[in-house]
Amino acid sequence: MALNYAQRADAAADGTFVKRVMVGAVKLANYTAASEPDTTPNHANRVAFASAVLANPGAYAPQLALGVLTQGVADDIESTDDLTDINVQGALESMWNAYAGVADGGA
């Protein structure tokens, strides 16, 4: 049976899952800051958010963990163990723009 919203919130607080998300976020932030083309839509905000994540990944990981568990990739899981690192990375990539807008007040 898939996780309901309350179970997803509990799962997002699991220390091991938060660590997995933190590593994925740092990986994506490194790419965004160092290699992403300047022509990427929302690039300046994406880089600003990436810099914030790189400066303090532990502060952002819990927020991002909850975000990952709201993505479609988590709709049919019974635990976070059902998500591969590739699933986590894909979820982070799909929501990066949304979080990048939040990082600078949505500008």
Express each pLDDT in 54-65 by its tens digit: 999 999 999 999
Q: What percentage of residues in the chain have a pLDDT greater than 70?
A: 94
| Count of residues in the chain | 107
pLDDT digit string (tens) for 59-104?
999 999 999 999 999 999 999 999 999 999 999 999 999 999 854 4
CA distance 32 to 50: 6
pLDDT digit string (tens) for 8-27?
999 999 999 999 999 999 99
Q: How many CB atoms lie within 10 A of CB 90?
A: 17
CB neighbours of 68 closer than 8 A, spacing ≥ 6?
A: 12, 21, 74, 83, 88, 91, 92, 95
Sorting pLDDT into bands at 50, 70 and 90, what band is 41?
confident
Pull the structure tokens for residue 6: 């309350």
